[in-house]
């Protein structure tokens, strides 16, 4: 069996040993060109978020049976093409009990929120320029803001817990009808948006949620509100958000994700990235919310054990 890890930097060392016992292990990093060559005789592909696994790649993967991705979202994989080829995708999607033990995404969401509200990057850059004017960076206490949690899954619930610690009032909106009866839920999206000061986004990306936050509903956020996104870039309509930041309706935006972030050419043209070079109320990090050593090692271990169980059952 041939196993390939596209991005082995700091990969769980115990799981490297497990994989070496199961077959011949190949490790990157790979350029796109080299991955197209390397994948030809691979049976098991283990990826993070550095490559788009699309039709072009899958056309070269003559022997591929499994794609392992220690992520909840799988929009970096062309799942329909994988299905046509009977390639099984093994991810963290739906693994609720396990994921509740992983705090890194919620921690990063909180970090982005605090950095945005307290203007930390702007204040830091101000000091680096030799200045020291605290009056330029006055803000408000967190408990003076109402937090709106869009998506009350694992990360959304963790954010609610953090809000409680900071004594922030909070509500959530979720499309799951089973959550509608929750006392902190808001049944209507527009009503929800009208009530919040900080919108924290934690919904998965699918056909239903692409551009879920868009020009038709963004305008209902209060003037001076903030947005934090650690979901996927595609859940927000970039152009509409950019316009509302430019005209001052949205006071600040912090994100860990961008539309087409893996594609360097498209990413560089992203309107939010361009705007961040002009405005100091935009914070962008390179999809690092889940990138703590502990979380990555735990998820890698989980996904490999899940694959081994699946593989063993098929024997």
Please check whether residue 246 is in contact with residue 221, taking contact to mean a CB–CB distance below 8 angstroms: no
Euclidean distance between CA atoms 273 and 283, whole angstroms: 9
Name the active-site residue from 107, 234, 237, 261: 261
Which residues are bridge partners to 5 per DSSP?
27, 46
DSSP 3-state of 147: strand
What letter does residue 277 receive in the DSSP assignment?
T
Name the active-site residue from 232, 234, 237, 300: 232
Q: Please provide the distance, in angstroms rounded to a whole number, between the alpha carbons at the two ends of the chain.
A: 14
Residue 135 CA, distance from chain mean position: 34
Is 140 noted as a catalytic residue in this protein?
Answer: no
Is 261 noted as a catalytic residue in this protein?
Answer: yes
Is 232 noted as a catalytic residue in this protein?
Answer: yes
Longest dimension (CA), the chain: 68
Name the active-site residue from 51, 76, 287, 300: 287
DSSP states of 162-210? HHHHTT--EEEE-S-GGGTTSTTB-SSHHHHHHH-SEEEE----STTTT
Query: In what helix (H) or strand (E) does residue 88 lie, and over which residues does it extend?
Result: strand 88-90
Nearest to 281 by CA among 307, 248, 240: 248
Tokens for 273, please give them.
Answer: 């990235």
Catalytic residues: 232, 261, 287
């Amino acid at each position: 069996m041939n196993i390939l890890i596209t991005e082995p930097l700091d990969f769980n060392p115990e799981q490297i040993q497990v994989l070496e016992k199961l077959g011949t292990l190949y490790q990157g990093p790979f350029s796109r060109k080299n991955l197209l060559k390397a994948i030809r005789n691979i049976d098991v592909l283990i990826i993070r978020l550095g490559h788009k696994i699309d039709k072009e790649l899958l056309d070269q993967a003559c022997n591929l049976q499994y794609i392992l991705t220690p992520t909840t979202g799988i929009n970096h994989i062309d799942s329909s093409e994988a299905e046509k080829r009977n390639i099984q995708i093994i991810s963290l999607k739906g693994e609720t009990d396990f994921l509740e033990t992983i705090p890194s995404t919620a921690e990063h969401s909180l970090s982005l929120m605090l950095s945005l509200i307290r203007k930390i990057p702007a204040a830091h850059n101000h000091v680096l320029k030799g200045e020291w004017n605290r009056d330029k960076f006055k803000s408000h206490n967190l408990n003076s803001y109402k937090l709106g949690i869009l998506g009350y899954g694992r990360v959304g619930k963790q954010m609610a817990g953090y809000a409680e610690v900071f004594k922030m009032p909070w509500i959530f909106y979720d499309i799951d009808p089973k959550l509608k009866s929750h006392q902190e839920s808001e049944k209507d999206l527009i009503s929800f948006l009208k009530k919040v000061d900080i919108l924290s986004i934690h919904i998965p990306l699918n056909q239903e949620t692409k551009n879920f936050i868009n020009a038709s509903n963004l305008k209902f956020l209060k003037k001076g509100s903030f947005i934090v996104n650690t979901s996927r870039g595609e859940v927000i309509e970039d152009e509409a958000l950019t316009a509302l930041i430019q005209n001052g309706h949205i006071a600040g935006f912090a994100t860990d994700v961008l539309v087409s972030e893996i594609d360097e050419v498209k990413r560089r043209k992203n309107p939010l990235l361009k705007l961040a070079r002009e405005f100091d109320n935009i914070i962008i990090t390179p999809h690092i919310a889940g990138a703590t050593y502990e979380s990555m090692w735990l998820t890698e271990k989980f996904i490999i054990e899940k694959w081994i169980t699946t593989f063993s059952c098929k024997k």
